[in-house]
Amino acid sequence: MLQTNQLKQALVNGKTVFGLLNSIPSPLVVEMIGYAGYDFVILDMEHVCVNPETLENMVRAAECAAMTPLIRVPNAAPENILRALDCGAQGIVIPHVRNRFDAEQAVTASRYYPLGSRGISGGRTTGFGTLDLPTYFERANAEIMVVAMIEDKEGIDNLDAILSVTGIDMVLEGAIDLSQSYGLPGQAQHPSVEAAIDKIATACFERNVQFCAIPRAANQLHAWKERGVQAYLLGDDRGVNFRALKAHLMGFK
């Protein structure tokens, strides 16, 4: 059953939160991330092959570990958003938001009337009928987050239009795709890419929209904290696991 979104509440309360991108489609891994102390996890459906039953169990694993589960859908198509939210996600992450239309489509597909046109279903989101539908609609509209990823030059050019859409709760930068969009593939810390990310953050501050930073160097976390950023995505679980496994082995060699 849909509960209070602890990530959203923490941000409202001025707390700093940390998340991880999940690229290993396993409920056990998600549960481990939660018990390690992360505040939120982004379950990836854009680049990762995961079947619907496994995805739903990954959401359950996050709930079990008191961690907020968000799902990154492949795009802003309403049918993708609908399935992600119906399995229990407390928010959706939309990649490649390039313009106002993309943002509006994401919000409309994520919210019930009068804030949107999300299709109606029961099941686990209502506690199999424990919550009556009017109560659930009100709770879902209040608790479910819509996170827009800006990772294209077109998105940078349309920042004002995107952020003017009511219902965008947070913006996440996508430096790797941005680097490609600027003709600098793979150069996430190139000055042109960093300038684009700074532009995203500044626009979010001006619009009072939460900005989620991805620290890629030791000094970046401090710099973002100095600017008042509350939300941080700390890479993905594949990289974290690989580095930990490699370090573990090297400790014995």
| pLDDT per residue as tens digits for the range 172-231 | 999 999 999 999 999 999 999 999 999 999 999 999 999 999 999 888 999 999 999 999
3-state secondary structure the chain: CCCCCHHHHHHHCCCCEEEEEECCCCHHHHHHHHHCCCCEEEEECCCCCCCHHHHHHHHHHHHHCCCEEEEECCCCCHHHHHHHHHCCCCEEEECCCCCHHHHHHHHHHHCCCCCCCCCCCCHHHHCCCCCCHHHHHHHHHHHCEEEEEECCHHHHHCHHHHHCCCCCCEEEECHHHHHHHCCCCCCCCCHHHHHHHHHHHHHHHHHCCEEEECCCCHHHHHHHHHCCCCEEEEEEHHHHHHHHHHHHHHCCC
From the candidates 47, 96, 190, 248, which is the catalytic residue?
47
Instruction: Determine whether 47 is an active site residue.
Output: yes
Q: What pLDDT score was predicted for residue 96?
A: 97
Q: Give the model confidence (pLDDT) of 79-129 as tens digits.
A: 999 999 999 999 999 999 999 999 999 999 999 999 999 999 889 999 999
Q: What pLDDT score was predicted for residue 122?
A: 81
Q: What pLDDT score was predicted for residue 218?
A: 80
Q: What pLDDT score was predicted for residue 25?
A: 97
What mean pLDDT comes out for the span 157-170? 97
